[in-house]
Amino acid sequence: MVNLDYKFSGIIDILNRLKPFNPDIAIILGSGLGSFAKSVKIVKSIPCGSIESYPLSSVEGHSGFIHFAEIGNKKLLLFEGRIHFYEGFRLSDCLLQTHITHKLGCKYLIITNAAGGINNELHPGSLMLNTSFNSMNIKNELTEVTGLADNYKKDNLLNCPSADLNNIIRTSASSENIDLKEGVYWFNKGPAYETPAEVKMAKIFGGDAVGMSSAHEAVYAGSLGIETASISLITNYAAGISESKLSHTEVIDTSEKAKYIFEKLIKRIILNL
Protein backbone atom coordinates (compact mmCIF):
# COMPACT_ATOMS: atom_id res chain seq x y z
CA MET A 1 0.00 0.00 0.00
CA VAL A 2 1.27 3.49 -0.91
CA ASN A 3 0.86 6.13 1.78
CA LEU A 4 0.19 9.42 -0.01
CA ASP A 5 0.44 11.45 3.22
CA TYR A 6 4.02 10.27 3.53
CA LYS A 7 4.87 10.34 -0.18
CA PHE A 8 3.68 13.91 -0.77
CA SER A 9 4.29 15.51 2.64
CA GLY A 10 7.11 17.72 1.26
CA ILE A 11 4.90 19.05 -1.58
CA ILE A 12 2.01 19.73 0.80
CA ASP A 13 4.34 21.61 3.19
CA ILE A 14 5.55 23.81 0.32
CA LEU A 15 2.00 24.58 -0.85
CA ASN A 16 0.85 25.33 2.68
CA ARG A 17 3.69 27.84 2.91
CA LEU A 18 2.95 29.45 -0.47
CA LYS A 19 -0.87 29.46 -0.56
CA PRO A 20 -2.44 32.94 -0.48
CA PHE A 21 -5.76 31.57 0.88
CA ASN A 22 -7.61 28.35 1.64
CA PRO A 23 -9.38 27.30 -1.59
CA ASP A 24 -12.94 25.88 -1.66
CA ILE A 25 -13.18 24.53 -5.19
CA ALA A 26 -10.48 22.65 -7.11
CA ILE A 27 -10.55 22.14 -10.87
CA ILE A 28 -8.32 19.84 -12.87
CA LEU A 29 -8.06 21.29 -16.38
CA GLY A 30 -7.94 18.68 -19.15
CA SER A 31 -6.16 18.58 -22.53
CA GLY A 32 -6.19 22.01 -24.17
CA LEU A 33 -8.47 23.46 -21.46
CA GLY A 34 -5.64 25.04 -19.48
CA SER A 35 -6.56 28.44 -20.92
CA PHE A 36 -9.48 28.58 -18.46
CA ALA A 37 -6.87 29.91 -16.05
CA LYS A 38 -6.48 32.98 -18.29
CA SER A 39 -10.16 33.80 -17.98
CA VAL A 40 -10.26 34.17 -14.18
CA LYS A 41 -8.59 36.45 -11.64
CA ILE A 42 -5.29 34.79 -10.73
CA VAL A 43 -4.07 35.59 -7.23
CA LYS A 44 -0.95 33.43 -7.34
CA SER A 45 0.54 30.99 -9.87
CA ILE A 46 3.07 28.41 -8.85
CA PRO A 47 4.99 26.63 -11.64
CA CYS A 48 4.95 22.91 -10.83
CA GLY A 49 8.59 22.75 -11.94
CA SER A 50 9.53 24.97 -9.00
CA ILE A 51 8.09 22.50 -6.47
CA GLU A 52 10.68 19.94 -5.44
CA SER A 53 9.82 16.35 -6.47
CA TYR A 54 6.59 17.36 -8.30
CA PRO A 55 6.00 14.86 -11.17
CA LEU A 56 6.09 16.91 -14.38
CA SER A 57 3.95 16.11 -17.43
CA SER A 58 5.62 16.01 -20.83
CA VAL A 59 2.39 16.11 -22.86
CA GLU A 60 1.85 19.01 -25.27
CA GLY A 61 -0.92 21.26 -23.92
CA HIS A 62 -0.21 20.28 -20.29
CA SER A 63 2.26 22.91 -19.07
CA GLY A 64 2.20 22.62 -15.32
CA PHE A 65 0.93 25.31 -12.96
CA ILE A 66 -1.01 25.42 -9.75
CA HIS A 67 -3.08 28.60 -9.73
CA PHE A 68 -4.87 30.15 -6.79
CA ALA A 69 -7.66 32.16 -8.37
CA GLU A 70 -10.97 33.89 -7.68
CA ILE A 71 -14.33 34.28 -9.34
CA GLY A 72 -16.51 36.61 -7.30
CA ASN A 73 -16.06 35.48 -3.69
CA LYS A 74 -15.22 31.88 -4.68
CA LYS A 75 -11.69 30.74 -3.95
CA LEU A 76 -10.31 28.39 -6.58
CA LEU A 77 -7.43 25.98 -6.90
CA LEU A 78 -6.69 25.29 -10.56
CA PHE A 79 -4.44 22.55 -11.83
CA GLU A 80 -3.11 23.35 -15.26
CA GLY A 81 -1.25 20.30 -16.53
CA ARG A 82 -2.19 16.79 -15.59
CA ILE A 83 -0.10 13.85 -14.48
CA HIS A 84 -0.99 10.98 -16.82
CA PHE A 85 -0.60 7.29 -16.10
CA TYR A 86 0.38 6.68 -19.72
CA GLU A 87 3.50 8.82 -19.32
CA GLY A 88 4.93 6.10 -17.12
CA PHE A 89 4.05 7.52 -13.71
CA ARG A 90 2.82 5.35 -10.86
CA LEU A 91 -0.93 5.70 -10.31
CA SER A 92 -0.12 7.19 -6.90
CA ASP A 93 1.73 10.04 -8.70
CA CYS A 94 -1.36 10.62 -10.84
CA LEU A 95 -3.37 11.17 -7.66
CA LEU A 96 -1.22 14.05 -6.44
CA GLN A 97 -3.66 16.74 -7.58
CA THR A 98 -6.55 15.03 -5.83
CA HIS A 99 -4.40 14.66 -2.75
CA ILE A 100 -3.54 18.39 -2.81
CA THR A 101 -7.25 19.17 -3.23
CA HIS A 102 -7.94 17.18 -0.07
CA LYS A 103 -5.04 18.48 1.99
CA LEU A 104 -5.79 22.12 1.14
CA GLY A 105 -9.34 21.54 2.33
CA CYS A 106 -11.41 21.96 -0.85
CA LYS A 107 -15.01 20.87 -0.54
CA TYR A 108 -15.48 20.41 -4.28
CA LEU A 109 -13.44 18.91 -7.10
CA ILE A 110 -14.42 19.42 -10.72
CA ILE A 111 -12.46 17.20 -13.06
CA THR A 112 -12.36 17.98 -16.76
CA ASN A 113 -10.99 15.89 -19.57
CA ALA A 114 -10.85 15.40 -23.29
CA ALA A 115 -12.45 12.17 -24.45
CA GLY A 116 -13.39 10.25 -27.57
CA GLY A 117 -17.12 9.91 -28.24
CA ILE A 118 -18.56 6.39 -28.46
CA ASN A 119 -22.26 7.08 -27.94
CA ASN A 120 -24.01 8.11 -31.20
CA GLU A 121 -25.25 11.32 -29.59
CA LEU A 122 -21.72 12.57 -28.95
CA HIS A 123 -19.86 14.60 -31.56
CA PRO A 124 -16.61 16.59 -31.50
CA GLY A 125 -17.39 19.66 -29.38
CA SER A 126 -20.08 17.95 -27.25
CA LEU A 127 -19.86 18.22 -23.46
CA MET A 128 -20.65 15.12 -21.39
CA LEU A 129 -21.31 15.03 -17.67
CA ASN A 130 -19.81 11.79 -16.34
CA THR A 131 -22.57 9.86 -14.57
CA SER A 132 -20.25 6.98 -13.72
CA PHE A 133 -16.78 5.63 -14.42
CA ASN A 134 -15.49 2.37 -15.67
CA SER A 135 -12.09 2.04 -14.00
CA MET A 136 -11.76 -1.74 -14.11
CA ASN A 137 -8.43 -1.32 -15.91
CA ILE A 138 -6.87 0.27 -12.83
CA LYS A 139 -8.67 -1.41 -9.94
CA ASN A 140 -5.46 -3.01 -8.78
CA GLU A 141 -3.42 0.21 -8.78
CA LEU A 142 -6.26 2.14 -7.15
CA THR A 143 -6.58 -0.37 -4.34
CA GLU A 144 -2.85 0.04 -3.76
CA VAL A 145 -3.59 3.65 -2.81
CA THR A 146 -7.04 3.57 -1.23
CA GLY A 147 -6.49 0.27 0.56
CA LEU A 148 -9.41 -2.03 1.18
CA ALA A 149 -12.13 0.52 1.63
CA ASP A 150 -13.49 0.90 5.17
CA ASN A 151 -17.15 1.74 5.74
CA TYR A 152 -16.50 5.50 5.62
CA LYS A 153 -14.86 5.25 2.19
CA LYS A 154 -17.45 2.78 0.93
CA ASP A 155 -20.26 5.16 1.84
CA ASN A 156 -18.44 8.03 0.17
CA LEU A 157 -17.92 6.01 -2.98
CA LEU A 158 -21.65 5.47 -3.27
CA ASN A 159 -21.83 9.22 -3.84
CA CYS A 160 -19.20 9.41 -6.58
CA PRO A 161 -19.78 11.34 -8.72
CA SER A 162 -21.63 13.57 -6.26
CA ALA A 163 -25.39 13.58 -6.91
CA ASP A 164 -25.75 17.13 -5.55
CA LEU A 165 -22.87 18.52 -7.57
CA ASN A 166 -24.11 16.82 -10.74
CA ASN A 167 -27.50 18.42 -10.21
CA ILE A 168 -25.88 21.85 -9.81
CA ILE A 169 -23.98 21.19 -13.05
CA ARG A 170 -27.22 20.25 -14.89
CA THR A 171 -28.95 23.40 -13.66
CA SER A 172 -25.93 25.52 -14.60
CA ALA A 173 -25.86 24.06 -18.12
CA SER A 174 -29.55 24.67 -18.70
CA SER A 175 -29.39 28.24 -17.40
CA GLU A 176 -26.60 28.90 -19.92
CA ASN A 177 -28.50 27.07 -22.70
CA ILE A 178 -25.70 24.55 -22.99
CA ASP A 179 -26.61 21.13 -24.33
CA LEU A 180 -24.91 18.94 -21.73
CA LYS A 181 -24.97 15.24 -22.58
CA GLU A 182 -24.55 12.55 -19.94
CA GLY A 183 -22.81 9.22 -19.93
CA VAL A 184 -20.26 6.75 -18.63
CA TYR A 185 -16.55 7.58 -18.87
CA TRP A 186 -14.48 4.55 -19.79
CA PHE A 187 -10.87 4.66 -18.66
CA ASN A 188 -8.11 3.41 -20.95
CA LYS A 189 -4.61 3.08 -19.47
CA GLY A 190 -3.03 4.20 -22.74
CA PRO A 191 -0.55 5.27 -23.92
CA ALA A 192 -2.11 4.35 -27.28
CA TYR A 193 -5.61 5.39 -28.28
CA GLU A 194 -8.00 2.45 -28.42
CA THR A 195 -8.40 0.12 -31.35
CA PRO A 196 -11.82 -0.02 -33.05
CA ALA A 197 -12.27 -3.46 -31.45
CA GLU A 198 -11.66 -2.04 -27.97
CA VAL A 199 -14.10 0.79 -28.58
CA LYS A 200 -16.69 -1.74 -29.75
CA MET A 201 -16.21 -3.67 -26.50
CA ALA A 202 -16.46 -0.50 -24.40
CA LYS A 203 -19.71 0.36 -26.19
CA ILE A 204 -21.23 -3.06 -25.56
CA PHE A 205 -20.30 -2.76 -21.88
CA GLY A 206 -21.88 0.66 -21.47
CA GLY A 207 -19.08 3.12 -22.19
CA ASP A 208 -20.24 6.41 -23.74
CA ALA A 209 -16.86 8.12 -24.01
CA VAL A 210 -13.30 6.95 -23.59
CA GLY A 211 -10.29 8.74 -22.15
CA MET A 212 -7.02 8.24 -20.31
CA SER A 213 -7.49 10.18 -17.07
CA SER A 214 -10.10 11.25 -14.52
CA ALA A 215 -11.57 7.91 -13.37
CA HIS A 216 -8.93 7.30 -10.69
CA GLU A 217 -8.90 10.99 -9.68
CA ALA A 218 -12.67 10.85 -9.17
CA VAL A 219 -12.68 7.53 -7.32
CA TYR A 220 -9.90 8.62 -4.98
CA ALA A 221 -11.51 12.03 -4.36
CA GLY A 222 -14.87 10.37 -3.79
CA SER A 223 -13.39 7.96 -1.25
CA LEU A 224 -12.05 10.96 0.70
CA GLY A 225 -15.51 12.53 0.88
CA ILE A 226 -14.82 15.36 -1.60
CA GLU A 227 -17.91 16.38 -3.61
CA THR A 228 -16.63 15.34 -7.02
CA ALA A 229 -17.85 15.69 -10.58
CA SER A 230 -16.26 15.14 -13.95
CA ILE A 231 -17.05 16.67 -17.33
CA SER A 232 -15.71 15.45 -20.68
CA LEU A 233 -15.18 17.56 -23.73
CA ILE A 234 -15.63 15.23 -26.68
CA THR A 235 -12.74 16.12 -28.94
CA ASN A 236 -13.11 13.34 -31.53
CA TYR A 237 -15.07 10.25 -32.42
CA ALA A 238 -13.48 7.23 -30.69
CA ALA A 239 -11.56 4.91 -33.02
CA GLY A 240 -13.81 3.07 -35.45
CA ILE A 241 -16.84 5.30 -34.76
CA SER A 242 -16.00 7.43 -37.79
CA GLU A 243 -13.76 7.04 -40.83
CA SER A 244 -11.35 9.81 -39.82
CA LYS A 245 -8.04 8.93 -38.19
CA LEU A 246 -7.44 10.12 -34.63
CA SER A 247 -4.63 12.47 -33.62
CA HIS A 248 -3.58 14.54 -30.61
CA THR A 249 -3.71 17.60 -32.92
CA GLU A 250 -7.44 16.96 -33.46
CA VAL A 251 -7.90 16.73 -29.69
CA ILE A 252 -6.17 20.10 -29.15
CA ASP A 253 -7.91 21.76 -32.14
CA THR A 254 -11.39 20.77 -30.97
CA SER A 255 -10.73 21.85 -27.40
CA GLU A 256 -9.44 25.18 -28.71
CA LYS A 257 -12.73 25.69 -30.60
CA ALA A 258 -14.97 24.52 -27.74
CA LYS A 259 -13.17 26.21 -24.87
CA TYR A 260 -15.47 29.26 -24.66
CA ILE A 261 -18.58 27.20 -24.06
CA PHE A 262 -16.68 25.06 -21.59
CA GLU A 263 -15.44 28.15 -19.73
CA LYS A 264 -18.96 29.54 -19.64
CA LEU A 265 -20.26 26.33 -18.08
CA ILE A 266 -17.50 26.05 -15.48
CA LYS A 267 -17.95 29.69 -14.44
CA ARG A 268 -21.68 29.26 -14.02
CA ILE A 269 -21.13 26.11 -11.94
CA ILE A 270 -18.67 27.95 -9.70
CA LEU A 271 -21.10 30.83 -9.15
CA ASN A 272 -23.86 28.34 -8.32
CA LEU A 273 -21.81 26.55 -5.65
Q: Does 202 bind ligand HPA (CB under 6 A)?
A: no
**Residue closer to ligand HPA (CB basis): 114 or 168:** 114
Least distance (Å) between residue 123 CB and ligand HPA: 13
Q: Does 212 bind ligand HPA (CB under 6 A)?
A: yes
**Residue closer to ligand HPA (CB basis): 26 or 210:** 210
> Which CA distances in Å does 268 have to 7, 167, 187, 234, 251?
35, 13, 27, 20, 24
Phi, psi of 229 (to 5 degrees): -140, 160
Q: Does 114 bind ligand HPA (CB under 6 A)?
A: yes
- Piece of 82-90, 100-108, 234-242, 264-272 that binds ligand HPA (CB under 6 A): 234-242
Site map for ligand HPA, 245-264, x if CB under 6 A?
Answer: -x----x-------------
CB neighbours (10 Å) of residue 152? 11
Footprint on residues 169-188 left by ligand HPA (CB under 6 A): 188
**Residue closer to ligand HPA (CB basis): 83 or 270:** 83
Please list the alpha-helical segments (H only) found in the chain.
4-7, 9-18, 91-94, 96-103, 139-146, 151-157, 163-175, 196-204, 215-223, 248-272
CB neighbours (10 Å) of residue 197? 10
- Piece of 40-48, 114-122, 123-131, 214-222 that binds ligand HPA (CB under 6 A): 114-122
Q: Does 115 bind ligand HPA (CB under 6 A)?
A: yes
Q: Does 127 bind ligand HPA (CB under 6 A)?
A: no
Residue among 8, 65, 85, 193 that touches ligand HPA (CB under 6 A): 193
What lies within 8 Å, CB to CB, of 256 at 6+ separation is 32
Residue 227 CA to its chain's centroid (Å): 13
- CA 61, CA 151: separation in Å to the nearest integer? 39
Q: Does 210 bind ligand HPA (CB under 6 A)?
A: yes
Q: Does 211 bind ligand HPA (CB under 6 A)?
A: yes
- Piece of 6-14, 67-75, 85-93, 209-217 that binds ligand HPA (CB under 6 A): 209-217
| Type of residue at 268 | R
- CA 72, CA 77: separation in Å to the nearest integer? 14
Q: Does 238 bind ligand HPA (CB under 6 A)?
A: yes
Q: Does 124 bind ligand HPA (CB under 6 A)?
A: no
Q: Which residues of 118-258 form beta strands (DSSP E)?
A: 127-134, 180-187, 209-211, 227-237
Distance in angstroms between the alpha carbons of the first and the last residue of the chain: 35
Q: Does 111 bind ligand HPA (CB under 6 A)?
A: no
- CA 218, CA 134: separation in Å to the nearest integer? 11
Instruction: Yes or no: say if 78 and 267 are a contact pair by the CB < 8 Å rule.
Output: no
Binding site residues, ligand HPA, CB under 6 A = 114-116, 188, 193-194, 210-212, 235-236, 238, 246, 251
